[in-house]
């Protein structure tokens, strides 16, 4: 696992997978998540696709040092630093769920390097106009955002408890983190797959290696101003969302599709929040070229 020291004294952990000479794509993990969740279970399939996937642990997750008080936009120097380390002049970027806003940040603030971006089942800014942030959202997620709005001490206590419980259940049930959610049948079917469970088991164990601090900082960042406006974006962006999604309701994807300049939009009527590894890889191949 390579590491990178940032200009402000933090450490970032990142991974590469696929063809070193292939099309470079940053894959930004969700919330909670880690660099391992963005990797495909079959590296040879990634290589055969002509892709070079780059993943990293956001601060506080996995082996990356915490960046207390970080905003969504603060991911951009980290992405740029990894790209510099790998000598990448340009690259594409995709982010799912909690990674979606971070992919949009890269599109907005690294426009000279990001060739195109994808926001997959990503949330809108909490202060976005003309949308009810919570409408259609599962009560479990509404409660979690309520803890974030109550402040860091409340959020940290609740998520540390959730992280402890999740770590204890990962071996037996990698999808235990979603046990109390009223997920769609499509999402339940994805979570029942062996390949998905293997990704979740490894990825979530790494995500919670430092406890819940990365998760805490993500939730706080989502309920504060992101530090950029989606109207700034000028690179091609694909917005995808699942019509039956209850973790990030479809209205979020529709809002982003309408407010990210020039975005192409896919409203997937057959899916919710989750995707299989092969579906993710197929989408990356399609959007990044």
Give the CATH number of the domain where residue 89 resides: 3.40.50.1820
pLDDT at position 98:
98
Cβ contact 56:91 at 8 Å: no
Q: What is the pLDDT of residue 44?
A: 96
Alpha carbon of 31 to those of 20, 102, 174, 203, 234: distances in Å? Answer: 28, 11, 15, 11, 26
At which residue do the structure tokens 């973790």 appear?
247
Instruction: Note the helical H segments in the chain.
Output: 43-48, 75-85, 99-109, 139-150, 152-169, 185-191, 194-207, 213-222, 250-259, 277-288
pLDDT tens per residue, range 68-90: 999 999 999 999 999 999 999 99
pLDDT at 43: 95
Place of tokens 């004294």: 9
For residue 32, is the peptide bond before it cis, meaning its omega torsion is within 30 degrees of 0? yes
Q: What is the pLDDT of residue 206?
A: 96
Domain of residue 270, residue span:
3-288
Q: What integer pLDDT is reported at residue 49 of this predicted model?
A: 96
Mean pLDDT of 123-132: 96
Per-residue pLDDT at 209: 96
Assign 176 a pLDDT band (cuts: 50, 70, 90): confident
Band (pLDDT 50/70/90 cuts) for residue 288 is: confident
Mean pLDDT over each residue of the chain, to the nearest integer = 96
Distance in angstroms (rounded) separating the CA atoms of residues 282 and 51: 11
Q: In what order do the strands lie in the sheet with 23-28?
A: 3-5, 11-18, 51-56, 23-28, 91-96, 114-120, 237-242, 264-268
Percent of the chain with pLDDT over 90: 93
The first and second tokens of residue 106, run together, are 């890269």
Domain count, the chain: 1
List, for residues 18-33, the tens digit of each pLDDT value. Answer: 999 999 999 999 999 9
C-alpha triplet 37, 111, 21: angle, nearest 5°: 55
Q: Residue 177's pLDDT band (boundaries 50, 70, 90)?
A: confident
In angstroms, what CA-CA distances link 117 with 82, 98, 229, 239?
Answer: 17, 15, 15, 9
């Amino acid at each position: 696992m390579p590491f990178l020291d940032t200009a402000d004294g933090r450490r970032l952990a990142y991974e590469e997978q696929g063809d070193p000479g292939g099309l470079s794509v940053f894959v930004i993990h969700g919330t909670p998540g880690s660099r391992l969740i963005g990797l495909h279970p079959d590296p040879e399939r990634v290589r055969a696709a002509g892709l070079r996937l780059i993943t990293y642990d956001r601060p506080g997750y996995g082996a990356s040092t915490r960046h207390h008080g970080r905003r969504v936009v603060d991911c951009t120097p980290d992405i740029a630093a990894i790209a510099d380390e790998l000598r990448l002049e340009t690259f594409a970027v995709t982010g799912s769920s909690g990674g979606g806003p971070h992919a949009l940040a890269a599109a907005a603030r690294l426009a000279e390097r990001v060739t195109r971006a994808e926001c997959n089942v990503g949330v809108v800014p909490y202060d976005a106009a003309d949308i009810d942030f919570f409408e259609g959202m599962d009560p479990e997620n509404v409660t979690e955002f309520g803890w974030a709005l109550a402040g860091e001490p409340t959020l940290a206590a609740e998520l540390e408890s959730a992280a402890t419980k999740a770590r204890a259940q990962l071996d037996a049930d990698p999808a235990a983190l979603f046990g109390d959610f009223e997920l769609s049948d499509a999402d339940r079917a994805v979570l029942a797959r062996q390949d998905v469970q293997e990704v979740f088991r490894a990825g979530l164990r790494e995500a919670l290696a430092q406890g819940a601090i990365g998760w805490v900082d993500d939730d706080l960042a989502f309920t504060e101003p992101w530090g950029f406006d989606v109207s700034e974006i000028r690179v091609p962006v694909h917005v995808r969302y699942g019509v039956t999604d209850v973790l990030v309701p479809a209205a979020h994807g529709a809002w982003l599709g309408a407010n990210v300049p020039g975005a192409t939009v896919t409203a997937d009527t057959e899916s919710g929040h989750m995707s299989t590894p092969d579906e993710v890889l197929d989408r990356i191949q399609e959007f990044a070229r």
